[in-house]
Amino acid sequence: MSTVQKIEALLAKQPGNVDLYILNLFNGKLARWTRYYTFLEIILRRYQEASEAFCDSAERGRNARLNDPVGSGGAGRRPVTSV
């Protein structure tokens, strides 16, 4: 059960004899919190996806450097020429 679903379940269990002013304040603040929490979940998911892609790319680059020592004439390297 997600956090938002837990909050919705909590709101559904509110007793009927609670002061409406207090209940409206609580629901209003909770609605704002839920909206921001949902936003943060989206940002976190995007961050994790970008982080995984970056780490994979960095690992591939690291492996390429380890497997192609400097001066071995690997792909993309040009010989040093004099001026």
Encode pLDDT of 18-69 as tens digits: 777 877 888 888 888 888 998 999 999 999 999 999 999 999 988 888 887 6
CA dist., res. 55 & res. 63, Å (int): 12
Residue 27 lies in a domain: yes
The pLDDT of residue 21 is 84
Residue 15 lies in a domain: yes
pTM assigned to the model:
0.50
Domain span at 13? 3-67
Please provide residue 70's backbone torsions phi and psi, each rounded to the nearest 5 degrees: -60, 135
User: Once rounded to an integer, what is the mean pLDDT over residues 61-78?
Assistant: 70
Residue 16 resides in a domain: yes
Counting the structural domains of the chain, the total is: 1
pLDDT of residue 50: 94
Q: What is the phi-psi region of residue 69: left when phi exceeds 0, alpha when psi lies from -120 to 50, beta otherwise?
A: beta
Q: What is the pLDDT of residue 4?
A: 72
In this predicted structure, the answer to whether residue 72 has a pLDDT above a threshold of 70 is: no
| Residue recorded with tokens 């020592």 | 69
φ and ψ at residue 68, rounded to 5 degrees: -130, 80
